[in-house]
Structure 1
Amino acid sequence: MKVVPHTARGYVGCALLAAAAVTLPALRPGADTPWQTVLLLAALNTVCEVPARCPLATRSHRRSGRGGAVPVSPLGTVSFFPVLLAAALLLPPAAAALTALPGAVLARVDQPPAGLRRAWRAAELALAVWAAALVGQLLQCPGALGRGALGPDFPYVLLPAAVTALTFCLVLTALDGGIRATAEQMPPRTAWRGLLARSLAPHSVHGLAGLMMAVLWRSGYGPVAALFVLLPMYISCWGFAQYHRERAAHQATIRALVQAVDIKDRYTRGHSERVGHASVLIARELGMPEPRLEVVRFAGILHDVGKLGVPTRVLRKDGPLTPEERRVIELHPEYGHEMVRGIGFLGEARTAILHHHERMDGSGYPYGLKGHEIPEYARVVAVADAFDAMTSTRCYSRARPVGTALAELERCAGTQFDPRMVEALARALDRHGWQTEVTADETTVPAPRTPAPRPASAPPGAQAPAPARERG
């Protein structure tokens, strides 16, 4: 269990005190609190909050390694906001703040300390709804919504509703940045960076849904009609959440496989990620659409996963390989293909794993395919793999300059590599440059990221790149 710093506990305590202060007016004797509306909205919010949590409502994200996004606040979770924004439009500020509390307290918490996380969630949502309702009241939004036969005042109601949703977004962003700064001990500049930009779009969508709920709630049809807005959006949000959970599982699978390869073959650490990056650069230059770019990235990252089936002593051998050892290591494409055969989301990436050591002239392995018999993804990965192998330092070879590596690829285009792929890589490096890195276990300062010079011809005495530069 991660220990929460005292500063974060103090921050949560202050938020709880502030939340108590803004909700108390609704609980005082004689307060004109519309309890029926408060209880109905609180129940709806709880029903939406407890079963599932929706990525569309995520207030902000942080990166987790090279993988996907995770909730930014170490004490927070995500919410389904339309009900709370409808409450901010329909109720007085103190009453609106109350609607957030039951759902926040009862929502599932996956990580300890559960009590502190629930307390933080309740406090920040109560404060955000209270602030949004206060602004909506100042802009006379409840009156603009109309009542019964008297319909809403369109388009005037759109402006106060938009400002109300923006206020909700700003308060949550400010509070989330504060918890990042205190719980994760981030510099203030880093803690708030990018939070508002990532929050505006989902809050705008939820604000519109909240406005539609509020209008129907005030109409002659009553609260039941508001469910016609809430239910479809919640179902859509749930489906989107399922997609993101599946995507996160895919990313976790790939990360686990890559980490296993890196642990087994320490001399090529980071190679898989760079081959994935170079493969995307090539594919983008070829005009591949975004869905194919993701598949080719998977292919590049996992191209060497079959090395898990190769004896470690062969992978880590410092000297030249014997013919028998070479035959063993040349089995790794088939090993890799067998390992990922059942991973459906990889699609065509599986053929790239199997065929990335085939050559255009038919002298490659494992099946000796030639020309366009070799799958396109495999031809992309073959160039990316050889390029990174040549520009990385290994236990058995020193890194070559980017320009020299490109010259080798161009010299071997047509016999070993597809000329289109080599040309695409050269164009991409002209535009983006390349961050050369050392992948052996030694301390070296990486070269600066500068555009790669494109050589006119190969230097004298150049040797064929891939077989000499990387084992397998």
Structure 2
Amino acid sequence: MMVVPRTARVFIGCALLAAAAVTLPALRPAAGTPWPTVLLLAALYPLCELPARCLRSGGALGGRDGGPSGPVSFFPVLIAAALLLPPSAAALTALPGAVLTRVDRPPAALRRTWRAAQLALAVWAAATVGRTLRCDESLGLGPRTPDFPYVLLPAGATALTFCLVLTALDGGIRATAEQHPLRTAWRGLLGRALAPHAVHGLAGLMTAVLWRSAYGPVAALFALLPIYLSCWGFAQYHRERAAHQATIRALVQAVDIKDRYTRGHSERVGRASVLIAHELGMDEPRLEVVRFAGILHDVGKLGVPTRVLRKDGPLTPEERRIIELHPEYGHEMVRGIGFLGEARTAILHHHERMDGSGYPYGLKGHEIPEYARVVAVADAFDAMTSTRCYSRARPVDTALAELERCAGSQFDPRMVEALVRALHRHGWQTEVTADEPAVPTPRGPEPPGPAEPAPAAAAPASAPASEAPLQEPA
């Protein structure tokens, strides 16, 4: 069970007390609360939240990114409540949905309490701003038409206030429950929330206008329906994406378990591949594919006998031939995974060379798929800059110089130049990938440079052709 820090409990307790203070006035007999509207909106909100519930399991005590204000939440109903109702009554509409929300991680009661307090405060603050700007008068009533475009100003201020309060409280829970430093606790939250809240604000305004019209609440459902379907589709997309990520994570973990000497290598090759691809101007969908290619480039090691991968001593020519089959093994393993797309060809061809001396098919120049040429450079760079039990890490500048020396014969010069530019801009953190200490005890001769292919017997046992920096048979 998650242990919630005392500071987080105090923060949540203060939020709960504040939420109670702003909602209780609506319960007084003399408050004149419009209960039919409150109850209808309070019942509608949890129904509209159904698509997002399956995704609200991340963060410390809220949804994705630490709170329930992620873009998969459905807020038009709450913003409509802030536009239609007095502040205290509007805050009440958030409570049933917050209490009924799905919670996948303990402590469930504390998470529901936090969500209820957070949403009640956000709706109350938004409704207060709306009332101050006389938004309820601008909406019109019955046959009187809304005061457009003036109503857009108070409605926009209402939605912005809702967004700001949620963001502020999200950052507070990240600082207290997740122990983020104060200077970073709110970083990025507002930027991610503004666009979806703007869309939800417009949907909330349409809902409020139709609710106040002569057609009544039933007409308001037609404004919510397209947004609801969009939210459902977005939730489906994220569910599918999460399944993709889980598939890739499972494959990478299997490789890391089998070949302990390259642990973490796959993720870094994926990262370096994205740096290169971004420098080449690839768009977002292609960046994701090249990241998959980099992460899964060595998945074929699962088909290589463990005794060969972990052998203590030089590899025999037969063992080298077995290891050189890993690109084909990897391609066979992932060929049925449709979402990988062109990443599958990169897995198959990332050991090809520009001069045609690579494997498995001896492709030359631009016969080698572009993604494979990207991954080849990223793979060699990380192999050279990572400390393992059989080789010391080379400095980044030395590794880049080696890549530049072999550009044209072994590597695509465009990819090498792109990596050089990207690293000058972003830098690189070298890693220790083996389980042994960072200062290694060599178990064989130092792997030769890119242009110095060594005999098969000279390869260290734990540095097979797939991993030894640039050491492949001519």
Is the 8 Å Cα contact of residues 318 and 396 (structure 1) preserved in structure 2?
no
Structure-1 residue corresponding to 2:461 = none
SS of the aligned residue for 1:463 comes to coil
* Post-superposition CA distance 1:153-192 (Å, at most 9, x none): 2222122112211221222122222222332233333333
Q: C-alpha distance in 2, partners of 1:403/1:171?
A: 47
Amino acid of the structure 1 residue aligned with 2:2: K
Q: TM-score, normalised by structure 1?
A: 0.87
Cα separation, 2, equivalents of 1:24 and 1:403: 65
* Bigger mean CA deviation after superposition, 294-303 or 425-434: 425-434
For the structure 1 residues 335 and 460, does the alpha-carbon distance in structure 2 shift closer, same or farther, using more than 3 Å as the test? closer
Other structure's SS at 2:387 match:
coil
**What's the offset of the Cα at 1:93?**
0.9
Q: Note closer, same or farther for the CA distance 1:374–1:471 as it changes in structure 2 (3 Å cut).
A: same
> Is 2:16 the partner of 1:16?
yes
Match status 1:179 vs 2:173: yes
Whether 2:452 is the aligned partner of 1:463: answer yes
Query: Residues 317, 394 of structure 1: CA spacing in aligned structure 2 closer, same or farther, 3 A cutoff?
Result: farther
Distance 1:23 1:196 in 2: 26
Q: CA deviation at 1:462?
A: 6.0
Residue 266, structure 1, aligned to residue 255, structure 2: no
Q: Which moved more, 1:119-128 or 1:357-366?
A: 357-366
Q: Go from structure 1 to structure 2 and tell me whether the alpha carbon gap of 1:191 and 1:380 turns closer, same or farther (over 3 Å shift).
A: closer
Letter in structure 1 aligned against 2:137: G
Once the two structures are superposed, the pairs formed by residues 237-256 of structure 1 within 5 Å of their partners are 237-256=231-250
Q: Of residues 407, 413, 416 in structure 2, which corresponds to 1:419?
A: 413
1:54/1:240 contact within 8 Å kept? no
Of 102-111 and 176-185, the range deviating more from structure 2: 176-185
In structure 2, what is the equivalent of residue 80 of structure 1? 74
Does the C-alpha gap of structure 1 residues 15 and 434 become closer, same or farther in structure 2, counting only changes over 3 Å?
closer
Shift of residue 443, structure 1, vs aligned partner:
4.9
In the alignment, structure 1 residue 381 sits paired with structure 2 residue 375: yes
Given that residues 453 and 471 in structure 2 are in contact (C-alpha distance below 8 angstroms), is that contact kept between their aligned partners in structure 1?
A: no
1:396-430 superposed Cα distances (whole Å, 9 cap, x missing partner): 22233334333433343333323333333334344
Counterpart residue number, 1:320: 314
Amino acid at match of 2:116: A
Distance 1:435 1:6 in 2: 35
Q: Could you tell me how far apart the structure 2 residues matched to 1:54 and 1:396 are?
A: 46
Q: Does 1:168 align with 2:162?
A: yes
CA change 1:319–1:75 in 2 (3 A) is farther
Give the alignment of 1:358-369 within 5 angstroms. 358-369=352-363
Pair 1:32 & 2:32 matched: yes
Aligned positions, number:
451
**CA 1:421–1:242 in 2, change beyond 3 Å: closer, same or farther?**
same
1:16-415 aligned within 5 A: 16-50=16-50, 52-53=52-53, 70-73=64-67, 79-415=73-409
Could you report, residue by residue, the CA deviation over 1:287-339 in whole angstroms, capped at 9, with x for unpaired residues? 32221121111101110111122233332345432212212211211221122
> Would the aligned equivalents of 1:75 and 1:121 in 2 still touch at CA under 8 Å?
no
Contact 1:413 1:422 in 2 (8 A): yes
Secondary structure in 1 matching 2:409:
coil
Find the counterpart in structure 2 of residue 66 from structure 1. Answer: none
What is the Cα deviation at residue 461 of structure 1?
10
Structural RMSD (CA): 3.0
Q: Once structures 1 and 2 are overlaid, which stretch shifts more, 417-426 or 201-210?
A: 417-426
CA distance in structure 1 between the partners assigned to 2:70 and 2:115 by the alignment = 6
Between the aligned partners of 2:69 and 2:450, the Cα distance in structure 1 is: 60
- Whichever residue aligns with residue 259 of structure 1, its letter is Q
Shift of 1:143: 0.7
Checking the alignment, whether the CA contact within 8 Å between 1:272 and 1:303 is kept in structure 2 is: yes
* Contact 2:303 2:326 survives alignment (8 Å): yes
Give the Cα separation in 2 of the matches to 1:112 and 1:75: 19
Structure 2: state its 5+ residue gaps.
440-447, 455-463
Cα deviation, residue 433, structure 1: 3.8
1:12 and 1:120 in contact (8 A); partners too: yes
Letter in 1 for 2:34: P
Deviation at 1:61, TM superposition (A): 8.3
Residue 452 of structure 2 aligns to a residue whose secondary structure is coil
Q: Work out the CA distance in 2 between the residues paired with 1:423 and 1:18.
A: 57
| Distance change in 2, residues 1:50/1:429 (3 Å) | closer
Deviations 1:213-233 (A, max 9, x none): 111111222212211210001
Unpaired stretches in structure 1, ≥5 consecutive residues: 64-68, 446-458
Q: Return closer, same or farther for 1:219/1:245 CA change in 2, 3 Å cut-off.
A: same
TM value normalised by structure 2: 0.86
Partners of 1:61 and 1:376 lie apart in 2 by 36
Quote the offset at 1:74 in angstroms. 9.3
**What amino acid sits opposite 2:336 in the alignment?**
G
Write the distance in 1 (CA, Å) between the matches of 2:317 and 2:412. Answer: 27
Aligned CA distance change for structure 1 residues 21 and 401 (closer, same or farther; 3 Å) = closer
For the 8 Å contact 2:69–2:166, the answer to whether it is kept is: no
Residues 78, 370 of structure 1: CA spacing in aligned structure 2 closer, same or farther, 3 A cutoff? Answer: closer
Would the aligned equivalents of 2:98 and 2:112 in 1 still touch at CA under 8 Å? yes
CA distance in 2, matches of 1:315, 1:460: 22
AA aligned to 1:45 is Y
Identity %: 83
User: Residue type matched to 2:202 in 1?
Assistant: L
Instruction: Provide the rounded CA distance (Å) in 2 between the counterparts of 1:414 and 1:192.
Output: 46
CA distance in 2 between partners of 1:125 and 1:176 (Å): 11
Moved more, 247-256 or 359-368: 359-368
Give the whole-Å Cα distance in 2 for the aligned partners of 1:408 and 1:87.
Answer: 64
1:429-468: per-residue Cα shift (whole Å, max 9, x none)?
44444333333335559xxxxxxxxxxxxx9996359955
Q: Which residue matches 1:448?
A: none
Partner Cα separation in structure 1 for residue 158 and residue 273 of structure 2: 45
Does the CA-based 8 Å contact 1:77-1:121 persist in structure 2? no
Taking a change above 3 Å as real, the CA distance of residues 401 and 319 of structure 1, as seen in their structure-2 partners, is farther
Distance 1:299 1:217, change over 3 A: same
